[in-house]
Structure 1
Amino acid sequence: MFTGIVQGIAKVTDIITAPGLNTLVIEFPDDKVHGVTIGASVAINGTCLTVTRQEGAKLCFDAMQETLRLTTLGALASGDTVNFERAARIGDEIGGHLLSGHVHTTARVVDIIRPENNVTLWFEVPDAWTKYVFAKGYIAINGASLTIGEVDGNRFNVHLIPETLRATTFGTIKEGQWVNIEVDSQTQTIVDTLARMGYDRPAPTV
């Protein structure tokens, strides 16, 4: 499990391709790999991956074909930067909201607004996932736990403070870029339960 509090920015240094598999070689800040062991879970842009090899501050992760298809990891190139979070441990502070590291879908950045001292990002999600997107609800974008601001059809925005921009890759995000989305599990459970009970259907006409 993860908390959605991004612990830093890491750099992709190499991608080794094989049939149905990409091995991502990612360099982390030196102080962020202490105690890492083979088999440990790390969220890379919100995607839970397993450490397969360690070379100093460089960790290797295997991303299977299904992972590459469902997330933005397949579009990564050497030199790209990513958000990372190591798996939460019992007793850790939950500063965001609980995440599984299982990406549900991807979204596209459609607008970036830069008022003084903050940034507002607008995203567009596939229509099938809009039922889980609510104003003031939780959502994870590239592994960062964020609060949804406004919702307009299949678009929603988030408001980011300077510290979030500094500590994550959102500081360099560009319009048209794709991001990983994990919807809030509690919201998904409630919406799906109500749908099974028939509350997602229009009220009958008299």
Structure 2
Amino acid sequence: MFTGLISDVGEVVSSEARGSVRRLRIACSYPAEGIALGASIACSGPCLTAVEVGASGKRTWFDIDAGAETLERTTLGAWAPGKRINLERSLKLGDELGGHLVSGHVDGMARVTAVTRIGETTRFDVEAPERLARFIAEKGSVALDGTSLTVNSVAGRSFSVLLIPHTLAVTTWGEVREGDRLNIEIDTMARYAARLAEFPAAGTAEAGADEGLAS
């Protein structure tokens, strides 16, 4: 589990196809001794497993393997050397939960439709995939490229988020432009609330069917 609070910005240094899997090497500022093999690291949203860890010069690096589904459902398939990505290490017991609970299981890709400077803040208008739009609520939470954000407004499939200068400076958001695609993970509570809402009607239908059999 993660919080959506970015703790480092990494850089893709290599990308290599290995059959149906793509191996990427990501440089970061985390201490190499602090990354165990098999550790989970959220990389601009997707929770990925460190399969190799090392150091080169003053930079730590770790390798991840991305399967076909990850490459298809996320922006990872387009990552190339030089790509900067938001990083967050998994939660430990006792860590502060400053954002919202994020699983690192990306639901799909959203698209930035506008970037507008409003005083000291920057507004990003985003279009969600149609199947995910019903999970986005005004003042609710959403994770975009691994960042925990509050939804400012909603209109159909479109919604907006407002970012302060600090967030732009310590994440990759300062580089986001209109037309860019972002990894989106809907709020876990919204996911389960929508699922539970499906059951009253289903339960009523089943009860009616059972009564019909009884008669």
TM-score under structure 2 normalisation? 0.89
Spell out the pairing of 1:42-121 with structure 2 (5 A cutoff).
Answer: 42-56=41-55, 57-121=60-124
Q: Distance between the aligned counterparts of 1:44 and 1:78, measured in 2? A: 14
Structure 1 unmatched runs, 5+:
200-206
Residue 21 of structure 2 is matched in structure 1 by: 21
With over 3 angstroms needed to count, the CA separation of the structure-2 counterparts of 1:143 and 1:191, relative to structure 1, is: same
- Per-residue CA deviations over 1:42-89 (Å, capped at 9, x if unaligned) read 000110000000121011000011110111100101101000000110
Q: Which residue of 1 aligns with 2:148?
A: 145
The structure richer in helix per residue is 2
**CA deviation map 1:112-142 (0-9, x unaligned):** 0012211000111111111100000010001
Bigger Rg, structure 1 or 2: 2
Name 2:130's counterpart in structure 1: 127
Deviation at 1:32, TM superposition (A): 4.8
- Distance in 1 between residues matched to 2:174 and 2:32, nearest whole Å: 23
Matches of 2:5 and 2:166 in 1, distance apart? 12
CA distance in 1, matches of 2:201, 2:6: 38
Q: Distance in 2 between matches of 1:92 and 1:34?
A: 20
| Matched ranges for 1:156-171 at <5 A | 156-171=159-174
**RMSD of aligned alpha carbons:** 1.2
Structure 2: which 5+ runs fail to align?
203-215
